[in-house]
Amino acid sequence: MNPNITILVADDHPMLLKGLVDELQDYGFNVLEGVSNGAKALEVIYSKKPTIALLDINMPILTGFEVIEKCKARGLDTRFIILTSYKEKEVILKAQKMGVSGYLLKDEPFVEIKNCIQAAMKGVFYASKVFNEIFEMEIYPELEKIKYLSPSERTIIRLIAQEKSSKEIGELLSVSIRTIQKHRSNIITKLDLPSSPNALSLWVYENKELFLSL
């Protein structure tokens, strides 16, 4: 392996952290450090600027996503690989939108981490199979539905995602509550949702990451 490729590993589970560091070193990777919380990970990335940062999502003080956000804001060149147990579509979509280089589940064999690092160094995104499955089965179908919403309906969706009531949305858009309710009804039809009172709010909650950037 190229010793010029430097790696930071961050995970708050001591045994997993040690195992990852040991395995990476056995493969010949230059592991700068293994840390157990997000604040320490950020400190090491700022000071040592590793080529790759392998991060858990849930860590004390700062999450893996918060570490990535802060590093991206500084324009650092470190490439990020998420190693997690999360299979939920909102987490996967958030990782994808943040431009991570890889997304691996913790139950994958270690060779997948090696493959992911090698792919990241070539600028190729690498992920566990479940990542693509969730995109194809859950995320893409919802994105297709959203395409049929009008600009006004998308605006209302964004405001619902911000937990605004129909009254508040009407005031913000300078229209009547009745108009907002009509829009909500049209949105429910286009998204093929049940007609129950909370169906749209529930859908928005479950798919929030899909349209916050619309």
**CATH for 42:** 3.40.50.2300
Write the burial class of residue 109 (CB in 10 Å: 0-12 exposed, 13-18 middle, 19+ buried). exposed
**Do 169 and 94 share a domain, yes or no?**
no
Average pLDDT over residues 195-204: 83
d(CA 135, CA 142) in angstroms, rounded, equals 10
**Do 14 and 113 share a domain, yes or no?**
yes
d(CA 89, CA 65) in angstroms, rounded, equals 15
**Do 11 and 91 share a domain, yes or no?**
yes
d(CA 200, CA 187) in angstroms, rounded, equals 8
**Do 118 and 159 share a domain, yes or no?**
no
pLDDT in tens, 98-113: 889 999 998 888 889 9
**Residue 99 belongs to a domain:** yes
Q: Indicate the number of domains in the chain.
A: 2
**Residue 142 belongs to a domain:** no
**Do 88 and 186 share a domain, yes or no?**
no
**Do 132 and 155 share a domain, yes or no?**
no
Per-residue pLDDT, 79: 96
Q: Are 51 and 5 in contact (CB under 8 A)?
A: yes
Average pLDDT score, the chain: 88
**Do 122 and 180 share a domain, yes or no?**
no
**Residue 117 belongs to a domain:** yes
Place of tokens 């992911």: 116
**Do 129 and 170 share a domain, yes or no?**
no
Domain boundary among 102, 137, 172: 137
**Do 27 and 76 share a domain, yes or no?**
yes
Is this model's pTM higher than 0.85 or not?
no
Domain boundary among 113, 137, 161: 137
Per-residue pLDDT, 211: 63
**Residue 38 belongs to a domain:** yes
Tokens of 141: 């179908």
**Do 129 and 25 share a domain, yes or no?**
yes
**Residue 83 belongs to a domain:** yes
The candidate with the shortest Cα–Cα distance to 42, out of 68, 20, 22, 23, is 68
**Do 11 and 105 share a domain, yes or no?**
yes
**Residue 86 belongs to a domain:** yes
Q: Which residues does residue 80 pair with via DSSP β-bridges, in sequence order?
A: 53
Per-residue pLDDT, 161: 84
**Do 67 and 166 share a domain, yes or no?**
no
Domain that holds residue 187: 148-211
Q: Are 98 and 117 in contact (CB under 8 A)?
A: no
d(CA 138, CA 108) in angstroms, rounded, equals 22
Domain boundary among 104, 137, 170: 137
**Residue 143 belongs to a domain:** no
**Residue 1 belongs to a domain:** no
What's the CATH code of the domain at 177? 1.10.10.10
Task: Assign 2 a pLDDT band (cuts: 50, 70, 90).
Answer: low
Task: Assign 212 a pLDDT band (cuts: 50, 70, 90).
Answer: low
